[in-house]
Amino acid sequence: MHPVTTVHYLALSAALLLIGTVGVLTRRNVVIILMSIELILNAVNINLIAFAYALKQVNGQVFAIFVITDAVAEAAVGLGILIALFRNKETVLADEIDLLKW
Amino acid sequence: MTITRRNAVHGAIALIVSLMGVAGLYLMQNAEFLFAVQIVLYVGGIMVLFLFVIMLVNLDQAARERQFNRQWLVALAAVAAVGAQLAYFIYRGKDAFHIAEGAAGQVASALGNTEQVADSLFSEYLLPFELASVLLLVAVVGSVVMAKKRI
């Protein structure tokens, strides 16, 4: 029976980061891109908590709270932008929003 | 599962499941306060917001179309390269973490986890805490302004 060590948490966090990055880079739906960003922020939080636990400090948990706060703000602003965009362009697909391209 | 489903509601439900798994990991690592915050804020707050927006911007049209953009092959190659680097560094560096393993555990204190977090948050990190509250205020006002039809 192997104990769960910091390395396992780091590997899980790296896996979540990669899954989130794939989601951000390949999906066309903006809602799913925002959900992938939430996944990436959770990977960061796992790292912070794992090191806070390993180093017997509480600072990592405080920083995780700040990361969660930023995630909330980002989700609120992102979804507000998405609603405004949908009202103007009638689409949620990222590659049809090409106003700045020529 | 979050990133592969055609229906965005299914993706959101898969994301809820993985967020609750992360909350369980917090509980395993003596971070009870963050466990509660994760459940209440993420699963209760953000995901309800996501589901609300999914219902609001009727996604039936988008669900029938192509799901992945044209650069998906390049994106997958880049992510595979980054993943190989991460795996290599974690493999090479895993011996470095053994120093900390012996000391792992709860912070030696008579206080509970929530009290410790509160002590650190309101003394050492007071200025970032206030800045975070201002950031949340800006986010709320900004999203209301953007989502409103006319001001």
Given the structure tokens 């200025």, which residue do they identify? B127
For residue A48, give the DSSP letter.
Answer: H
Distance CA A29, CA A51 (A): 34
Looking at this protein, which amino acid is placed at residue A13? S
As a whole number of angstroms, the distance between CA B42 and CA B28 comes to 18
Measure Cα distances from B92 to A30, A50, B38, B95, B97 in Å. Answer: 37, 19, 32, 7, 11
Of B53, B71, B101, the CB nearest to A54: B101
pLDDT at residue A81 is higher than 80? yes
- Going from N- to C-terminal start, the domains of chain B cover 1-91, 111-151
The Cα A88–Cα B148 span in angstroms is: 12
Exposure string over B49-85, b if 16+ CB within 10 A, otherwise e = bbbebbeebebeebeeeebbeeeeeebeeebeeebee
Which chain A residues have a beta carbon less than 8 Å from that of B57?
A: 31, 82-83, 86, 92
Residue window 63-122, chain B: list those with CB within 8 Å of chain A: 65-72, 75-76, 78-79, 82-83, 86-87, 90, 94, 97, 100-101, 103-108, 113, 116-117, 119-121
Contact B49, B72 (CB under 8 A): no
Contact B50, A79 (CB under 8 A): yes
The letter for the amino acid at A90 is E
Mutant choice from A24, A29, A77 vs B, greatest count of B C-beta within 10 A = A29
Answer yes or no: is pLDDT of B107 > 70. no
- Enter the pTM of the model: 0.81
Domain B1-91, what architecture?
A: Up-down Bundle (1.20)
The ipTM is 0.80
**A53, containing H or E segment:** helix A30-54
State the fold for domain A6-90: Helix Hairpins (1.10.287)
The residue ranges of every structural domain in chain A are 6-90
Q: Which pLDDT score, from 0 to 100, does residue B132 have?
A: 87
**Dihedral over alpha carbons B83, B93, A66, B143 (to 10 degrees):** -10
The per-residue pLDDT for A49 is 87
Instruction: Identify all chain A residues contacting B6, using CB atoms and an 8 Å cutoff.
Output: none
Residues in chain A, overall count: 102
Burial (CB count within 10 angstroms: exposed 0-12, middle 13-18, buried 19+), residue A54? buried
pLDDT digits (tens, 9 = 90+) for A16-75: 898 888 888 888 788 888 888 988 999 999 888 888 888 777 788 888 888 888 888 888
User: What is the mean predicted confidence (pLDDT) over B102-130?
Assistant: 71
**pLDDT value for A1:** 54
3-state secondary structure of A67: helix
Q: What are the tens digits of pLDDT across the range A5-19?
A: 778 888 888 888 988
Please enumerate in sequence order all residues whose Cβ is within 8 A of that of A57, keeping only pairs 6 or more positions apart, or say none.
B107
Q: Does the pLDDT at position B119 exceed 60?
A: yes
Residues A53 and A51: their CA atoms lie apart, in Å, by: 5
